[in-house]
Amino acid sequence: MPPEAAEPSLPSSPPARGIRGELRALLNLAIPLCIAQAGQSLMSVTDTFIVGRAGTSALAAVGLSHALFFAVSSFGMGLMMGVDPLVSQAIGAGSPRRARDVLWQGVWLSAFVGVVLWAVLITAPAGLPWVGVAEEQIVQVRAFLHFRAPSLPLMLIFLTVRAYLQAIGMPRPLVVSAVLANVLNVMLVPLFVFGGASLPEWAGPLTHVPAMGAAGAALSTLLCTAMEVLIVARAVQAIPVPGTPSRKPVKADQLRAFRVGLPIGLHIAAEVGVFALAGVLAAKLGTVSVSAHQIALSFASLTFTMALGIGNAGSVRVGWAVGAHDTPQARRSGLMAFALGAVVMSLGGLVFALFPRGLAKLAGAPEEVLPLLLPLLMVSAIFQVFDGVQGVGAGVLRGAGQTRFTFVANIVGHYAVGLPLTLLLGFHLGMGVLGIWWGLCAGLITVAAAVLWRFWRVSAGTLRPLEG
């Protein structure tokens, strides 16, 4: 990352007064973060839509590849979220220099963790034969991950810088990077997936690009992620802070971020892992089932980005208040984020319930997939609000420095409640992929209730900063 300037000008946010003031302050931060978060998810949706036109087999391979990628990368993503409360609480305490120091230690940690997880990811397909995945799909999954795995260190660095930019109330570079990455992705995915042979002669060298199939989508994502990192790094360079922040690795700071982020990483790995397992179970039911699962999950993931954006905004506002030793403001900010997340996700559920066939056509779902896809979209419509509450809850508890409870809630909700119901309904009662999704729904409801209760309880007392 580039060197920093030397004059202080980091923004701060005064506490909002009243319900309207709090809602306005939350929306000012949440809207751009939702756009940026949706942009990240939209790239995966674009992959699904375009690769789906290459056939059911390619679509199933992308779905399984995405499941493996996020099952492995989710731990790193959560681990780097340990930077979030440290930065936002430093800003709330009026210490922009400390916030920049934390950023640099997060970048070092991101690079190391990303390389380790890269090595883990490229070995993951070796275990697929044990769960009954066909060799044809495994070959395509290996090719996909060959290009997707190198994006892991870049993605974690981007998430670390994102935590810093949102904590200082400057999300605009995140929106710019997301928009440009999606524009580039829309151009590159068809080119890499189908090749350039059908392009006009004036396209020149592009006509010689070979058709890579599903792996082409992974290569496009790698290039787009690299571009995003460059954009946000340039944005940080333009933000001056007092003094000269240290860019050298500091073991104590990295261990502190690791300790805060470890429960978050385990919580996200648990949540993503159960959805990845659901994808593997759907793959055992055949390519039609896993294709329906992947399309429905793509839509659900896209709406969930709204909850993540609101949760990130809530995390920042709660962190600001905790850093300023203002627990009542932290409580107001957190509860407003819960309410906004529930309302927004309810609207998403309404769209799923009213227009399932239109969404299926938009995704280019093959005819043989529709009988399974339409019911899955209806289940998704039902669990939207609970997904929103648990997503926002993880964010506001993170801002308060309460990261361990969310991990426990996810383990209990998804693995003690959701997974047993998934196996019971999907296989023992013969409901197939629909039963798998009802099990997932039960897990989300349990987690949502738990995190809402936890924040209500801890914010009734005194919330203390993680540092100082």
Sign of CA dihedral 85, 90, 93, 94: negative
* pLDDT mean over 385-414: 92
Going by the DSSP 8-state scheme, the letter that residue 165 receives in this structure is: H
468 band by pLDDT with thresholds 50, 70 and 90: low
Closest CA to 466 of 174, 17, 78, 88: 88
5 band by pLDDT with thresholds 50, 70 and 90: very low
Q: How many CB atoms lie within 10 A of CB 245?
A: 17
Residue 142: per-residue pLDDT? 86
What is the share, in percent, of the chain residues with pLDDT greater than 70? Answer: 96
> Does the pLDDT at position 388 exceed 50?
yes
Closest CA to 413 of 449, 378, 452: 449
Residue type for position 104: W
The pLDDT tens digits of the residues spanning 90-131 come to 888 888 888 899 999 999 999 999 999 999 988 888 877 786
Rounded CA gap, 301 and 291, in Å? Answer: 15
Going by the DSSP 8-state scheme, the letter that residue 14 receives in this structure is: P
> Does the pLDDT at position 393 exceed 90?
yes
> Does the pLDDT at position 39 exceed 50?
yes
3-state helix, strand, coil in the chain (%, to 5): 80, 0, 20
Print burial letters for 95-117: b (CB count within 10 Å at least 16), e (below 16): bbbbbbbbbbbbbbbbeebbeeb
Q: Do 337 and 310 form a contact (C-beta atoms < 8 A)?
A: yes
- 3-state SS, residue 310: helix
* pLDDT mean over 449-464: 93
Mean pLDDT of the chain: 86
Residue 211: per-residue pLDDT? 77
* pLDDT mean over 338-353: 92
Rounded CA gap, 88 and 169, in Å? Answer: 9
Q: Which of 8-12, 39-43, 132-136, 411-415 has the lowest mean pLDDT?
A: 8-12
Q: Which of 67-81, 113-127, 131-145, 149-163 has the lowest mean pLDDT?
A: 131-145
> Does the pLDDT at position 199 exceed 60?
yes
